[in-house]
Chain A
Amino acid sequence: MLSPETREVAFKKLLADYKERLYWHIRKIVINHEDANDVLQNTFIKVFENMSKFRGNSNIYTWMYRIATNESLNLLSKKSRKFGISNEEWIEKQVNELESDVYFDGDAIQLKLQKAIATLPEKQRLVFNMRYFEEMKYEKISEILETSVGGLKASYHHAVKKIKNEINELS
């Protein structure tokens, strides 16, 4: 078991190394900066609290990504439940507000892409973001989402196809 001092040093290292990567991963799921900020904090608090339970069965980076993904999806569920809408509707609402968001300076094409991504089912959206923006390997995504590589490839393929159609429709 880690001593409190070792635990603290290890945690600070993880925080320094992974805060940005995890933030962008979360941000692409929840869209809004404030929500991403809340989820990032909760993710690291969970990491800290569960560090002693981490047995090294998976890469620590994979483990942290899994926590961040679950926390992001939990936040989406909470928010959508609060407003009595589905997760997809909540995401669509967030994306529609991007134009006026001070923390979004994407051009028209990037906005169009975000709107197209928002139309994807949850799993396809996750896979698309991780593969396209974060350039993650399928094996890594498979460990994080606990899904087969084959299934992920299919999801990504469908996602690209849908986004292409959606962008054509939006144009």
Chain B
Amino acid sequence: MKRTDKKSPFKVPKNYFNHFDQNLAKQILSINPVNGFKTPDNYFQEIENFIVDRVNYSKLKKVHLLNYIWKAMAVACVITLFFINEKKTIDHNDLVEFFIEDYLIANTTYDIAEHSDYYFEMRNFIENYESIDVDDALEIRLYGESPSNLNLFDYE
């Protein structure tokens, strides 16, 4: 049997199928898609200005709040850093002072003259012992134990 050409000779208007279901729905419902809803008079003019005002307000409010938060955080950071540095400086100074004082008490002038060769070693020593807590150092002192007693100075 001769094969028939399946191509249909029929045509439809342009975009017919795109709007078919819509047109069908309108026919079925026999209603024009006007919905009966209304707005107050001049609503769309007024709402535009109202939204612009609201947005500007919320933008300002947000910027103010963010600025405030950032400023507060910056101040808090500066204060914290100041106290940390201050404490560190005090601790370090106290420690150095303590070691020098202890060194002077524990040694006679002759000893010191003799030890002068060790000056740089001593300086290194102090730097190495920066990690000693001031409270611990003071406790050692209260118990009458100097770093030299504890043989921390091993130059003898």
A residues lining the B interface (CB < 8 Å) = 11-12, 15-16, 19-20, 23-24, 27-28, 33, 37, 40-41, 44-45, 48-49, 98, 102-107, 109-111, 113-114, 131-133, 135, 137, 153, 156-157, 160, 163-164, 167
A-B contact pairs, 22 of them (CB 8 A): A15-B48, A16-B48, A33-B37, A33-B39, A37-B43, A37-B47, A45-B54, A45-B58, A98-B36, A103-B40, A104-B38, A106-B35, A110-B31, A113-B29, A113-B31, A131-B25, A132-B22, A132-B25, A132-B33, A133-B33, A160-B28, A163-B29
Q: Which residues of B contact A15 (CB under 8 A)?
A: 48, 51-52
Judge whether B55 and A135 touch: CB under 8 Å.
no
Cβ-neighbour of B44 out of A20, A49, A135, A153 (below 8 A)? A20
| Residues B11-47 near A (CB distance < 8 A) | 18, 21-22, 24-26, 28-31, 33-40, 43-44, 47
Question: How many residue pairs, one in A and one in B, have C-beta atoms under 8 Å apart?
Answer: 93
A19 touches B47 (CB 8 A): yes
Output the nearest chain B residue to A106 by Cβ-Cβ distance: B36
Q: Are A135 and B22 in contact (CB under 8 A)?
A: yes
Judge whether A131 and B22 touch: CB under 8 Å: yes
B35 touches A111 (CB 8 A): no
Check A110 against B47 for contact (C-beta < 8 Å): no
Q: Which of B22, B37, B38, B55 contacts A48 (CB 8 A)?
A: B55
CB distance from A125 to the nearest CB of B (A): 13
Contact A110 B36 (CB under 8 A): yes
Query: In the assembled complex, how far is the CB of residue B69 from the closest CB belonging to chain A, in whole angstroms?
Result: 17
Determine if B55 and A107 form an interchain contact, defined as CB atoms under 8 angstroms apart: no
Residues of A within 8 A of B30 (CB): 109
Interface-central residue, B18, B24, B34, B55, by most chain A CB under 10 Å = B55
Decide: A41 and B51 in contact? CB cutoff 8 A: yes
In the bound complex, residues from chain A placing their C-beta under 8 Å from that of B38 are: 33, 102-105
Set of chain A residues within 8 Å of B22, measured between Cβ atoms: 131-132, 135
Q: Does B118 sit within 8 A of A, measured CB to CB?
A: no
- CB B64 to nearest CB in A, in angstroms, measures 15
Asked if B82 CB lies within 8 Å of chain A CBs, one says no
Among residues of B, the one whose C-beta sits closest to the C-beta of A47 is B55
When C-beta atoms are compared, the residue in chain B nearest to A153 turns out to be B21
Q: Are A104 and B36 neighbours in the complex by a CB distance under 8 Å?
A: yes
Chain A residues contacting B54 (CB-CB under 8 Å) are: 41, 45
Are the C-beta atoms of A107 and B36 separated by less than 8 Å? yes
Our pick among B29, B35, B52 for the contact of A28 (Cβ within 8 Å) is B35
Query: Which residues of A sit under 8 angstroms from B31, Cβ to Cβ?
Result: 109-110, 113
Could you tell me the distance in whole angstroms from the C-beta of B98 to the nearest C-beta in chain A? 56
Query: Are A44 and B55 touching (Cβ within 8 A)?
Result: yes
Complex CA–CA separation, A132 to B19 (angstroms): 10
Cα distance, A93 to B44, chains bound together (Å): 26
Is B50 an interface position by the 8 A CB rule? Answer: yes
